[in-house]
Amino acid sequence: MATYRMGPAAQLLGVSADTLRRWVDAGRVPAGRDGQGHRVIEGSDLAAFARSMAADEPGGDRSSARNRFTGIVTAVRSDTVMAQVEIQAGPHRIVSLMTREAADELGLVVGALATATVKSTQVVVELPTTTKGTA
């Protein structure tokens, strides 16, 4: 069973290690100690908490899409027909290609707040080479 130390667990949740420690201290996230006395969170507990965080997000319009990334527009490159828009949403960099007309109508400029909604029929999942289930 995978366990995660506080730093890697916090990174997966998109929060600081201090925030995660406060949540553990408040009883929001169950945690134990490993053989060296470091706080650890069981992978299944971390997954359940991450899922509950996503459920708490305001959804806005009803949609079947489950992957929404709200962030700040960091770059807009456009020509006469197409635009490439980059959004930084926490640790995630999202790049979208759209018509220039759509980007203009949405007012997508550097510094604007935007939400990228990702809907895909195929998602590739890989394990990081540096960690094999435990952190």
- Is 68 in contact with 114 (CB distance < 8 Å)? no
Q: Tell me the average pLDDT of the chain.
A: 84
Give the residue extent of every domain in the chain. 3-56, 67-118
36-64 core/surface letters (b: 16 or more CB in 10 A; e: else): eeebbbebebbeebeeeeeeeeeeeeeee
- Is 5 in contact with 46 (CB distance < 8 Å)? no
DSSP-assigned letters across all residues of 92-128: EEEEEEEEHHHHHHHT--TT-EEEEEE--S-------
Which pTM was predicted?
Answer: 0.52
- Considering the four listed CATH numbers 3.40.50.620, 3.40.50.2020, 1.10.10.10, 1.10.1660.10, the one that applies to the domain covering 3-56 is 1.10.1660.10
Per-residue pLDDT of 29-87, as tens digits, reads 999 999 999 999 999 898 888 888 766 555 545 565 567 788 889 999 999 999 999 99
Class of domain 67-118: mainly beta
| For range 2-20, the mean pLDDT | 89
pLDDT at 77: 97
